[in-house]
Structure 1
Amino acid sequence: MELHNILHFLENKSILLTGATGFLAKVVIEKIIRVQPNVKKLYLLLRAADSLSALHRFNTEVMEKDLFKVVRKKYGPKLDSLIQEKITVLSGDITLDCLGLQNSYLEELFGQVEIIINLAATTNFDERYDFALGVNTIGAANVLSFSKKCRKLRMFLHVSTAYVSGEKEGLILETPLKLGDVLGLDIDMENKIIQQNLQQLRADAATQNYTTSVMRDLGLQRARKYGWPNTYSFTKAMGEMVLGQFKENIPLIIIRPTIITSTFREPFPGWIEGVRTIDAFIVGFGTGKLTCHPGDPRTTIDLIPADMVVNAIMVLMASHVNETTHMICHVGSSSSNPAPYHLVRDSIVHFFIQNPWIAKDGKPVVVRMGPQLATRVAFRRYAELHYLIPIKMLGVVNAASWRYFDTTYLDLSRKAEFVMRLVDLFSPYFFLNRVFNDANAEKLRSAAKEHMENEIFNFNPKSINWDDYLKQTHIPGVVKYVFRR
């Protein structure tokens, strides 16, 4: 490994980035434009009906975001011409051969692309199984196949997740996943099972909603059969397996971030989009839907800000270009600067006590420190006592009183559904005690100390004060960018 000057490395490079409208992809695009406008070309792949629709999506879903306000201020009126010169927006779909691209673009891409960053993914934990397998597993294989046709390719960097580890506890090492490691798992058979179910649903003239429900349940069932907690981590794990099996001589880097949170410093603190793992609990608690604290207080919540993940991507590209190795790199904090569960919990509680959310009726949501439920069994008992039994009783009373308590009954039912789904999907992140080894990231950080760019591409979690970051940056960012949605 030789760490090149990162800014110089990015200069005059042609980069293909998939999933261009995703949360992390936006941070990558912003970073490159802001620090290295002399990049040769950014090819941005996103799903759209045609090139015009793709450009419209890019303008509205990427460039209009608050994230780009620093770039807009830096370049002013020159930004439009810079974007036109450096960025090519492509209408495509990674679930298709040749990424669904028009033939007119293929030869240019095969002759120009030097780096591929695969960020395309569906991150819903209970996504439809057919959608998740199509994007996270088959899609990854299609991007790899495409990369083999790029004559100037110097690196294929795939963004995965640390939680491909399933429900393992203890120290999780940076080791590749292999197709033969899981007894009985056959990706082709998983696809056949999906197609058989879809065929039966079509034969039964099932509604779209029912089909979606069946496909979601199927994904969770198959994931748990093989040791993964949800469809997302299961299909991402299979994606890694496929890449490792068929990489051949492609320079492959797989980066595994932990729970990605809002930006720490760049381009400014606190920008976030969508609900990440921990944010579902922040939203639930702040809005009054969650009145307890599910999770083992002895665990570590492995958080890593989005800009640090992006900086790690940049450093990895510069340090491992042209290498034919199959490298795995965890990017998280549990190994070097862990955030204890109790600290995260207390930060959330204290923030909303001091800054209560204003509900639709104009009244502040009153929050207080709720009971700590250290095991899944304890949570189920709590849910039974505080949600399920009261709902059953209220349902009987409501029916007997000609639906007089409809509003209360529906409100309590929604809260119960929210809490049960929250813990069902996210419990492995709060009840399992594990540390993600980040030896490869630590080697990169040590090498980067010798470069003047160390601060520009900082991804050292030791620089984070978690209590301060959560109260002053992350939770306010979630309130600003997520709550109002």
Structure 2
Amino acid sequence: MTAVPAAAFRRSAVATAAGPTLDGRLSELLAGKKIVMTGVTGFIGEQVLWKILTELPETAPAVLVRRKGSASARERVIGLVKKKIFTQLREAAGGAEQLVDARIQVIEGDLPNVPELPADLDVVMHCAGDVSFDPPIDQAFTTNVIGTRALMRRMIEAVTDEAGNITKVPHYVHISTAYTAGRRRGAIPEAPHEHSIDYETETRAGLAMRELIEAESRTAEQLTRLRKEAEREHRAAGFLTTAADTERRRKDWVQEKLVEAGTERARSLGWTDVYTFTKALGERVVADLGANLHVSIVRPAIVESSWLHPYPGWIEGFKMAEPLILAYGRGELPEFPASPDSVVDIVPCDHVVNAILAVCATVPEVGRPEYYHVASGARNPLTFRELYDHVRSYFTAHPFDGGERGAAHLPQWQFPGATSVERLLTNSERAHKVAERVLARAPRSERIRKIARDLDRARVRMTFLRRYLGLYNEYAQSELHFVDDNTLRLTRSLHPDDQPIFAFDTAVYDWTTYIEEVHCPSITEPVRRMDAIRRKRGARPTTMKDLSRDTAGSQALAVFDLDGTVMTTNVIETYLWARLPELSKLRQAAEVGAVLRKLPSYIKAERRDRGTFLRAVYRRYQGADLAALEEFVDNEMAPHVLSRLSPDAVRRIRAHRAAGHTTILITGVVRPLTRPLRPLFDVIVAADLATDADGRCTGFLTGPPLVGESRAAWLRHFAALNGIDLSRSFAYADSHSDQPMLAAVGNPVAVSPDVPLMRAARANQWSMAEWRIKPQAFRWTMPK
């Protein structure tokens, strides 16, 4: 008996069975044909349109494009042909608008809301679809099943007369995916997949999931859990901020559960994810509605950058492999749960486009769909181990420039298996949670902010790994072999003159050239360019707006917090400054001891609500003589206060005044302690101590202290009364409790922020500044 190597089964022989072939050049076979396309703004659709306009001059493309915001479908297509690959076509036509008007029919519509299609259509090419592997279940069904059905029905209407007779039989070309095979193993023929799934029933159930999950998200139990999570993070900022974050969490939870529902339903029926599941059901829709039509179904594998056209390495956006390749090059992908000998079935985009157009030129038998796999695994297999070796070889020769840190360290993959990789990731996630709990209790400093930034980067990496491991784990271990006999027969029937420009034989290129010289350079080039721009800019100490160019004048406010922003103090410290000098040495020691004993409860109160914390501290002013306190501040304490001001803050305040802005200090500090700062500010909003008939402090305030959301409310009211434009105004603060105030203006600046505010500033792209303060005296030195 002759031994046959397993790899031999990957090779495909030329099929002997009859099937459509090409009899002539594509430009002749498709001359005079109108091809209605969907998905033209997508990766494959864009290149299909370019290829038609470039190589098929007598073919008329009509594109179905939806409005996007205020941009009409025509405006979006004009924007599309302004891209680089259309340059020669655009210049030859005299401009983007001229090119669209001369060559492209634009149909405004969407899936599944498909408008009437042109009656003179010959081919409908359905390239659109939800290409995310993990869309919400209702979205996947709407796009891939309902959208496909709506398009085919409109196509049939377009070629059916009033008597119900089909005037001509169009060719429907459906772009699917090779992975509609699901969790099967072994050879996958170019044929319908056998299954008994009722797509009508599954579609109704998939759409109903949103209503079910939305209802569950609004139950008392679920809302309580989400609210408590939001309160733990945002309580200091106020109830409205917490409420907004609770609703954000609810919506995120709904999306997460819809994705989870899609994934689990797909896997329960034998598919890897809801994308491949709904694409498989979409194929069944095509077969049912195409009983009286010419039907072809094209199933590409993993589509990546082009081999030759429009130029080597052409790609739009990141597809399946790019994020993983870039993460590896950055040293951020320590392992991957791939089987080293599994085939990763990559095919260049231009091969897919050429195959689609060749299929469009065929005439399949009515009611007998033809299937085409556009894949490389049958005759040019690439294993995950080989892919890893090529990527590592590329980055070894061309590492990312890490600046002062040098080149990134490239991990050495050992392919330990999915279980080991999962264990490594889980342990890292647990360690990260512990670090976050410790960080939450750490005192504020630049070092702590650096640790927080490092933790944030680690969290982003772990989130990335968790998502991609979940999405691609099964693809990385699949044992599918896509038979491509039909596709091979079609490419071999290409006219000799079409071979240079329309070939799609995936055996013609070698992986070393494609990955190391075409694909990796293409996807890393824009990343390297952005890195170079960042290095050229250098590290900037601040991103604040240049006030010398500001023209808002009196229409703008400049609002400053005090403690930690303008001045290196805290409420307890300023209380001791003001209170201790009037006490005897014995009573000073007693007062300091009492404050220290209460310190844990003060800290706990501040974490719950800053207003409660301030009231608790100010109760200690009970019995103090207010007039004497003011006199002491003016005569003795003023130099001590001014020595604690940040020179950076003072310069910024004076710059705002020079620009004509109204400067405002909003602080929880009691008003007497702000008296030395009156020359700097036009308005000072502070806490006012209530007094009795003798002028002695009662330990209470005359009104609630302005903290959290109340500061934002005060600003809006002040602005409305004084004709201020908050969108042109500025605010400066250091604490997460001031997030609402910063969000109320158009130019927020987080100054030496605590970790939660730093994260909010980064998320909202607010300016950040480090204002360093070097007091002339030791921090706990008392005024004399």
TM-score (norm 1): 0.89
Structure 1, unpaired ranges of 5+: none
State the percentage of identical aligned residues: 26
> Which residue of the partner structure matches residue 291 of structure 2?
248
CA shift in 2, pair 1:417/1:222, >3 Å: same
1:397 aligns with 2:416: no
CA contact (8 A) 1:177 1:244 kept: no
Matches within 5 A, 1:324-343: 324-343=367-386
The structure whose RCO (Cα within 8 Å, separation 6+) is larger is: 1
The one-letter code of the counterpart of 1:331 is V
1:79-113 CA distances to partner (integer Å, 9 max, x unpaired)?
753431220222211212xx0x2xxxx3xx34211
Structure 1 stretch displaced more, 247-256 or 474-483: 474-483
CA contact (8 A) 1:20 1:119 kept: yes
Matches within 5 A, 1:193-208: 193-198=209-214, 207-208=250-251
> Which residue of the partner structure matches residue 399 of structure 2?
356
CA shift in 2, pair 1:321/1:35, >3 Å: farther
1:374-418 CA distances to partner (integer Å, 9 max, x unpaired)?
421121122234x22431342343244347332222221111111
3-state SS of paired residue (1:260):
strand
3-state SS of paired residue (1:372):
coil
CA contact (8 A) 1:55 1:89 kept: yes
> Which residue of the partner structure matches residue 21 of structure 1?
41
CA contact (8 A) 1:295 1:372 kept: no
The one-letter code of the counterpart of 1:407 is R
Cα shift at 1:326:
0.9
Cα shift at 1:353:
2.3
1:188 aligns with 2:204: yes
Inter-partner Cα distance in structure 2 for 1:51 and 1:325: 43
CA contact (8 A) 2:47 2:350 kept: yes
Cα shift at 1:115:
0.4
- Specify which of 305, 311, 330 is matched with residue 348 of structure 2: 305
CA shift in 2, pair 1:29/1:173, >3 Å: same
CA contact (8 A) 2:291 2:366 kept: no
CA shift in 2, pair 1:392/1:458, >3 Å: same
1:114 aligns with 2:130: no
CA contact (8 A) 1:161 1:255 kept: yes
> Which residue of the partner structure matches residue 413 of structure 1?
459
Inter-partner Cα distance in structure 2 for 1:195 and 1:91: 29
> Which residue of the partner structure matches residue 26 of structure 2?
6
The one-letter code of the counterpart of 1:81 is Q
Cα shift at 1:222:
1.8
3-state SS of paired residue (2:125):
strand
> Which residue of the partner structure matches residue 57 of structure 2?
37
Structure 1 stretch displaced more, 330-339 or 270-279: 270-279
Inter-partner Cα distance in structure 2 for 1:313 and 1:227: 28
- Specify which of 138, 148, 151 is matched with residue 156 of structure 2: 148
Count of residue pairs brought into register by the alignment: 470
Inter-partner Cα distance in structure 2 for 1:169 and 1:184: 27
CA contact (8 A) 1:298 1:433 kept: no
- Specify which of 63, 67, 76 is matched with residue 85 of structure 2: 67
**RMSD (Å), alpha carbons:** 2.7
CA contact (8 A) 1:24 1:310 kept: yes
CA contact (8 A) 1:162 1:330 kept: yes
If you compute each CA radius of gyration, which structure gives the higher value, 1 or 2? 2
Inter-partner Cα distance in structure 2 for 1:372 and 1:147: 52
Cα shift at 1:210:
3.6
CA contact (8 A) 2:21 2:489 kept: no
- Specify which of 107, 112, 131 is matched with residue 90 of structure 1: 107
Inter-partner Cα distance in structure 2 for 1:24 and 1:188: 30
The one-letter code of the counterpart of 1:94 is L
Structure 2, unpaired ranges of 5+: 1-19, 160-167, 224-246, 531-784
CA shift in 2, pair 1:293/1:139, >3 Å: same
Structure 1 stretch displaced more, 345-354 or 295-304: 345-354
1:203-259 CA distances to partner (integer Å, 9 max, x unpaired)?
999654343233222222222222222221122112112222332212111100000
CA shift in 2, pair 1:202/1:89, >3 Å: farther
CA contact (8 A) 2:112 2:142 kept: yes
> Which residue of the partner structure matches residue 483 of structure 2?
437
CA contact (8 A) 2:400 2:528 kept: no
1:254-280 CA distances to partner (integer Å, 9 max, x unpaired)?
100000010110111111112221122
Inter-partner Cα distance in structure 2 for 1:200 and 1:483: 46
The one-letter code of the counterpart of 1:394 is A
> Which residue of the partner structure matches residue 318 of structure 1?
361
Inter-partner Cα distance in structure 1 for 2:404 and 2:102: 48
3-state SS of paired residue (1:20):
coil
Inter-partner Cα distance in structure 2 for 1:243 and 1:299: 31
The one-letter code of the counterpart of 1:55 is R
> Which residue of the partner structure matches residue 465 of structure 1?
510
